[in-house]
Amino acid sequence: MVTAEVKSFMKTVKIFFGVAVTAVVLFSVAGCTNTADKETTVTAEITTSTSEKAKTTGTTETTQIKTTTGQAVTTASANTSDYEYSYAGFNPKPAVIDEAKWNLLLVNRNYILPEDYSPELAYAVKGDQAKLDVRVAPHYTEMYNAAKAEGLTLFPLSGNRRISTQKTNFDNKIKEYMNQGYNKITATQKAAQIILPPGCSEHNAGLAMDICSLNTSFENTKQFTWLMKNAADYGFILRYPKDKKAITEITYEPWHWRYVGVEAAKAIKASGLCLEEYLKVN
Ligand SMILES: [Zn+2]
């Protein structure tokens, strides 16, 4: 009996280890999250610390898990993170909340906001729905008015978004893929190609605004040219530049502008660094 139990236990351990070392998970990452948002995607590699690496897609990973265990083991991974979606390879660290450097708060797929993060908000532009952190909104208003004086409207398309809203959108997207027959891991990874997981979006922090359009053709507009020239004077940066995909893990988004404060914005603009590089964090 004991031997049988030990064998059974060892089998379970093997199963768990097998899942844990399904080492390289390819998936994509997204920027924004409400259904109107299209911000997406660059493929990222997530590796475990194990030396046993198997490069797979989400789909083949699923197959491996099934053949290894013969049963659903989607929560069997030995992830250290207690993040709700860690079963799919998401193991973010807590974002560093430093009130003295609130404008430099780093939020991305690797650094997530606390679940209850809820900044005080204000309308970015009077008469429009989009809101930003109350400390940022006046700067957007000022920038908006300056562009307006030159005949350009920086329409505030999408500002703050609650984490709970992001979670609802993300979970709905997972369900959508599961209804198409994908298992939970694959469905979650595919959802992350469309929507950033909850807490991972700068919109959840109220620090970013999507301006005018969620189409890369926005880069050809006078508004974009104006922003490239002047936004830093109001503390805003182009957060996901074309040539920084490998670092930001977000594809080029000409519409997504992040407030970092005038000093940092000017330094970032002059240096050509992205925020992760400027903060020396990745
Ligand atoms: Zn955005």
Domain coordinates of the chain in residue numbers? Answer: 2-88, 93-278
Model-level pTM?
A: 0.72
C-alpha–C-alpha distance, residues 118 and 102, integer Å: 13
* 3 Cα: distance to centroid of ligand 1 (angstroms): 57
What pLDDT is stored for residue 81 in this prediction? Answer: 66
Out of 39, 61, 202, 253, the active site residue is 253
* 195 Cα: distance to centroid of ligand 1 (angstroms): 11
Mean per-residue pLDDT, 10-16: 44
- The closest alpha carbon to 82, from 73, 93, 74, belongs to 93
Active site residue 253: yes
Residue keyed to tokens 């690496």: 53
CA torsion, ordered 190, 254, 261, 162, to nearest 10 deg: -40
CATH 3.30.1380.10 given to domain 93-278: yes
Judged on CB neighbours under 10 Å (0-12, 13-18, 19+), 140 is buried
pLDDT per residue over 78-92, tens digit each?
445 689 999 999 999
What pLDDT is stored for residue 194 in this prediction? Answer: 83
Cβ atoms of residues 257 and 207 within 8 Å: no
Q: In this prediction, what percent of the chain has a pLDDT beyond 90?
A: 67
Q: Is the pLDDT of residue 48 over 50?
A: no
Q: Is the pLDDT of residue 124 over 80?
A: yes
pLDDT per residue over 176-222, tens digit each?
999 999 999 999 999 998 889 999 999 999 999 999 999 999 999 99
* 256 Cα: distance to centroid of ligand 1 (angstroms): 4
* 20 Cα: distance to centroid of ligand 1 (angstroms): 33
Q: Is the pLDDT of residue 106 over 70?
A: yes
What pLDDT is stored for residue 193 in this prediction? Answer: 83
Mean per-residue pLDDT, 241-255: 93
Cβ atoms of residues 204 and 161 within 8 Å: yes
DSSP classification of residue 130? -
What pLDDT is stored for residue 45 in this prediction? Answer: 29
